[in-house]
Amino acid sequence: MNNPTDGQPALEAVGLGRRYRGGWALRNCDFSLPAGRICGVVGPNGAGKSTLLALGARLLAPTEGELRVLGEAGNTPDLRRRVGFVAQDKPLYPRLTVAETLRLGRELNPDWDHRTAQRVLDQGQLDPKARIGSLSGGQRTRVALALALGKGPELLLLDEPMADLDPLARHQLMGILMAEAAERGTTIVLSSHILTELEGVIDHLLLVQSGRIRLAGDLEQILDAHRLLTGGDGSRLAPHTVVERRSTGRTTTALVRTDAPVDGSWESSRPTLEDLLLSYLRSPQTDTATDREAAA
């Protein structure tokens, strides 16, 4: 595929920070997201996920450092055309009908892909004559996604897109996003707190916590770099960097980094994405390799 972003990261943060009046929402963030990936941005409420996506959509400017988007450091009309963004509150015109909203999308975007936009709406069986103001939250999400996909963006930034969708609609939309990524090489960045929805969909991970990037990289490599250990003797965890340990009765379960050989007394397995994320989220203080690198 001849993509103008070939060889260039879709997003690249260097020393990125953003401060609001109340303090820093993001600080010292460094990461690189290769083009063509489906990246999950995960973290608790207030972690800085929306701020990061708004910086990517150029709705906000960094306070320090930079976030290159599709290779560009600034904010140009050309860049805005190449980036699609669906905000959490999905701003749409409530008085327009679904069909009128789509027509507006077509008129505003020279490269409008009506087939994709229509497919997103058809799956939701939306009445083209319905006014936006009369739609449910989930239906509005669908219209906002149809608009963003119809634009044919190289980079699609979605802030909690699945939050108000029912499970069937989530499944359908994940399918559309994956097809979009496969067919057109679109880079998709979606924030989510619904961890199970991300499994099998994302191939890149950004874990954001308290304004810092705790994990960033290829999902398979991150999972390979961890083991879930179950056993009886917690003192044998000493050689490992322990992300989280929990004990119930005589059994200890721990998520560790694979930085030391695993003692044969442990039952060892590769964590699932959910195991990994929950362990990190439950132990915000752990000094992980990323934390150490960031602090160096």
Q: Which is nearer to ligand ADP, 51 or 116 (CB)?
A: 51
Q: Which is nearer to ligand ADP, 43 or 217 (CB)?
A: 43
Number of residues this chain uses to bind ligand ADP (CB under 6 A): 12
Residue 21 binds ligand ADP (CB under 6 A): yes
Residue 20 binds ligand ADP (CB under 6 A): yes
Q: Which is nearer to ligand ADP, 56 or 105 (CB)?
A: 56
| Window of 4-12, 21-29, 98-106, 257-265 that interacts with ligand ADP by CB under 6 A | 21-29
Residues 189-248 that bind ligand ADP (CB under 6 A): none
Residues 33-72 as x/- pattern, contact with ligand ADP by CB under 6 A: ----------x-xxxxxxx---------------------
Q: Which is nearer to ligand ADP, 45 or 248 (CB)?
A: 45
Joined tokens for residue 103: 């027509």
C-alpha to C-alpha distance for 114 and 62, rounded to whole angstroms: 34
Find the shortest distance in angstroms from Cβ 161 to ligand ADP. Answer: 13
| Window of 16-24, 136-144, 250-258, 283-291 that interacts with ligand ADP by CB under 6 A | 16-24
Q: Which is nearer to ligand ADP, 31 or 112 (CB)?
A: 31
Find the shortest distance in angstroms from Cβ 23 to ligand ADP. Answer: 7
Residue 22 binds ligand ADP (CB under 6 A): yes
* Interface residue list for ligand ADP (CB under 6 A): 20-22, 25, 43, 45-51
